Amino acid sequence: MPLVLLVALISVVVSIFGDETLAGASQISLIVATAVCLSIGLLRNDITWNDFERALSDKMGGISGAVIVLLLIGALGGSWMVGGIVPTLIYYGMQIMSPQWFLVSACVICAMVSVITGSSWTTIATIGIALMGIGQAIGFDVAWTAGAIISGAYFGDKISPLSDTTVLASSTVGTPLFTHIRYMLYTTVPTFLITLVIFAIKGFGSAPAETEHMLKVANALQQTFYISPLLLLAPILTGVLIAMRLPSMVVLFLATVMGTLTAVFSQGALLDEIAGADLEGFSQRLRGAMIVVYGKTNLNTGVPELNDLVATRGMAGMLDTIWLIICAMLFGAAMTATGMLDTIMKALIRLVKGVVSLVATTAFTGVFLNVVSADQYLSIILSSTMFGPTYKRYGIEPRLLSRTCEDSATVTSVLIPWNTCGMTQSHVLGVSTLVYAPFCFFCYLSPLMTVVASTFIKNQNENHAPKGFL
């Protein structure tokens, strides 16, 4: 009942509020569904209020790191944009990247960066923002560009030995890390190649951007910002920090400091304009720099579509997302504490009739848990924990379970509007989750590919399976 109610409420608010759904309507929907869930549990004496508070405490503790990262991403976006770093990347990127190969290039670049960093969030918050600007400048729809960026970033995140989800999936199941990664290549590489083919077809089938429009955007960038190859020093140093395998929080903080210093020394006139106060010298500049980091900025470049691109939200712009994450954790805690989530999982396990159905059920569960729990980490842990004994009972290698969890729970989290990943990437890229989701081909082809691959496992093992299993 709570799950059906939540889906119904989300559907209603999306139809009413559209792109403004995440500004408060979705949060209210989650709170109402949480109240219904708790009411059922308390009236049936399934739980006490203390049980819910303990479950909530566990979930809120688990998202504290994500909240800090979100705030740092907001600060990074503001400092790199007003500091001229992102405009410089856009300016030179427009001259280098071919429009026909742009989507493929964006996907591959994000994949490479994400493999190195082990973080799709860091990749999207840095190079992803610049690629969004380049795509918009050369005439690509923002949904297609966001789909290419997210597909590449989540491919890299999924197979990187530095990725927390990769380590979590392998360690929870008990599969050696590199065994897990090698086994994922059987499904991940074909899915990624199919994704690249789709983006290539779209790129060559699109009309090339008008030279006049690109020149107009380039001139507007030069007139608004100080553009220089020297500003690329910040992204290069950020890459060095990433290569040093520093924690994401440290990298994002130091990158924000570099962006802010760049703004102070190279974009002084813009900071004075943003400050909007009758101050003098250093005080005026400091006020502008702090507003860039924590608040919203709107710059007039003379090109309306470019104005939207260079507008920033800072740390304050992430508060709606944080609010939504907190409400999502409320619902997840209620579903866990009342035992409703466990009941649903047991019902799903009854559907298992063979290897293919086991893998399909596991993949469906990963996606389902992303919807219900609103957190990919919880989805991975619950999926592997619930199905682990079943895989072991029938003598199936644990690497199949760890791969299936990654093929479903990890990559589909970004497609759910109220999931932590979906909310974050929507705000970072400035594109609604429901708008970019149809173009994240890698993310929703992965669960399908893992089920298809399981048919070969069935053929290879059916003579050795326990009696009555296949």
**Does 234 fall in a domain?**
yes
Q: What is the pLDDT of residue 194?
A: 95
CB 374 within 8 A of CB 328: yes
Question: What's the CA gap between 128 and 368, in Å, rounded?
Answer: 27
CA atoms within 13 A on the CB side of 343: 10
Q: What is the pLDDT of residue 200?
A: 92
Q: What is the pLDDT of residue 428?
A: 83
**Which tokens go with 241?**
């920090």
**Does 139 fall in a domain?**
yes
Q: What is the pLDDT of residue 220?
A: 84
**Does 350 fall in a domain?**
no
Q: What is the pLDDT of residue 465?
A: 42
**Which tokens go with 212?**
């006049």
Q: Structural domain tally of the chain?
A: 1
**Does 243 fall in a domain?**
yes
pLDDT tens track of the chain, all 470 residues?
887 888 788 778 767 876 576 678 878 888 998 999 999 999 888 788 888 888 888 777 766 776 787 788 788 888 888 898 888 877 887 777 777 888 998 898 888 878 766 678 777 877 788 788 888 877 788 999 999 999 999 998 888 776 777 877 787 777 887 788 889 999 999 999 999 999 999 888 765 555 666 677 778 888 889 999 999 898 889 878 877 877 778 888 998 999 999 999 999 888 888 888 777 778 888 999 999 999 988 888 887 767 776 778 888 887 876 787 788 778 878 888 888 877 877 777 777 777 888 888 889 888 888 887 677 776 777 777 678 777 887 788 888 988 998 889 889 989 988 787 888 888 888 888 889 999 999 998 999 999 998 888 754 444 444 443 33
**Does 349 fall in a domain?**
no
**Does 195 fall in a domain?**
yes
Which domain does 180 fall in, by range? 65-317
Burial class (CB in 10 A: 0-12, 13-18, 19+), 57: exposed
Statement: the pTM of the whole predicted model exceeds 0.85: no
**Does 407 fall in a domain?**
no
Residue 191 corresponds to which amino acid? T
**Does 153 fall in a domain?**
yes
